[in-house]
Structure 1
Amino acid sequence: MTIDATDRRIIAATQAGLPLVSEPYARIAAELGLTEAALCDRLRAMQDSGVIRRIAVAPNHYKLGMTANGMSVWDVADDRVAELGQMVGNLDGVTHCYERPRALPDWPYNLFAMLHGGSREDVEAQRVGIAALLGDACRGHDILYSTRILKKTGLRLRSQKG
C-alpha cells in the first residue's frame, strides 16, 4: 500500500498519541477536515496493509515500577535464531526482540531482547530464564543496563511541504 497526503496527515496527527477526550477520533477527523468514519476507514486500511502495526495504549513502564531495564544480547545459532527469537519475544518482561547481524570479531551477538523489571535482580532472573530457554543454541550472552533516558518516543514522520 502506498500512502497519500491524507494518510500522512493522519499519521502526523496521531503519532504522538490520541487526544484525551471522550471522542478522540471525532476530534482528529474534524482537525483534518474528514468525517470520523473516513478517518477510521483509513486507519483500518493502513493497519490491514501493515503501514501501521497497531493502535494501542503505551504504558510508561517507569511509572509502573519497571525501573530496571537491560538490553540482553545473545550469540544464538543462526539456523535457530528466528525460531528462538519468536519464543523470547513472547516472554513477559520482553518489550523488544530483534535479530541483528553480528559485528565479528568484537560483537558475536545476533539476538537482542529488551528486558524490564522492578529491580536488576528481576531482570537477572529473566536473563537466567532466557538462557535456559535457549539452551545449547546459545553460545554466549551479555546485558547492557540503561542508566538514563535520552529519548522516549516512537518513530515520528516529519511533515512534507509542497
Structure 2
Amino acid sequence: MSIDSTDRAIIAATQAGLPLVPHPYASVAADLGLSEAALIERMQDMQERRIIRRVAVAPNHYALGMTANGMSVWDVEDARIADLGPQVGALEFVSHCYERPRSLPDWPYNLFAMIHGASRDEVEEKRAAIAALLGQACRNSDILYSSRILKKTGLRLRSKEG
C-alpha cells in the first residue's frame, strides 16, 4: 500500500479537517492545484485502498450540551455479537461502537458503545435501551463516565522536514 506525492498532499491538507466553507472540497482542490472532481476521486480511491478509513464529523459533545458521556461495556455472547453489535452502533445516541477482545479474568467485556447525554440520568436511560436490545445475549455490563475530552484527532502525517 503506497501513496504518491498528490495523495500525501491531500492527506496533509485534510487531516486537521475540511475548511468550513460552502464548498470545502473545491477549496482544498484549488489549494492543491486539482479539480474538485479529481480530489474527490482520489479520496474515494484512498478509501477503497483503506488508506483513508472515513471522512466524518467529530463534534465536541461538551459544546453541544452533551456533558454526560459514558463508555458502556457489555459482555455479549460471542455467537451473537456480529448480529447485535451493528444494531447497537446504529442507535442515534451511540457515537461509536466496536468489538474488542476480552481480557479474562479481569475484563469480561467484548462490546463497547459510547453513549452521550445531557445528564447521567439520560445516559442511564439510553444504557437501559441498549440492555433491552441485547436481552439475554448480554451477561453483564458496566459504564465508564468521561471526566474530560482526551482526544479529538486522528493520525497526523509529519512533514518530511519534521
TM-score interval, smaller chain: 0.7 to 0.9
1:118 maps to what in 2?
A: 118
Secondary structure of the residue that 2:115 maps to in structure 1?
A: strand
Residues 12 and 156, structure 1, Cα contact 8 Å, conserved in 2:
no
Residue ranges of structure 2 left out of the alignment (5+ in a row): none
Structure 1 position 66, deviation (Å): 1.1
The residue identity in structure 2 corresponding to 1:44 is: Q
Within 5 Å, which residues of 2 pair with 1:17-32? 17-32=17-32
Normalised by the length of structure 1, the TM-score is 0.87
2:42 maps to what in 1?
A: 42
Structure 1 position 49, deviation (Å): 4.2
The residue identity in structure 2 corresponding to 1:105 is: P
Structure 1 position 18, deviation (Å): 1.5
Secondary structure of the residue that 1:10 maps to in structure 2?
A: helix
Per-residue CA shift, 1:48-106, capped at 9, x if unaligned?
44433443444332222111100000001011111110110011110111100000000
Which is further off, 59-68 or 128-137?
Answer: 59-68
Find the aligned partners of 2:34 and 2:158 in 1 and give their Cα distance: 18
Normalised by the length of structure 2, the TM-score is 0.87
Find the aligned partners of 1:139 and 1:145 in 2 and give their Cα distance: 21
Per-residue CA shift, 1:92-148, capped at 9, x if unaligned?
110111100000000000000000011101100011111111111111000000011
Secondary structure of the residue that 2:130 maps to in structure 1?
A: helix
1:161 maps to what in 2?
A: 160
Find the aligned partners of 1:122 and 1:5 in 2 and give their Cα distance: 48
Find the aligned partners of 1:126 and 1:22 in 2 and give their Cα distance: 35
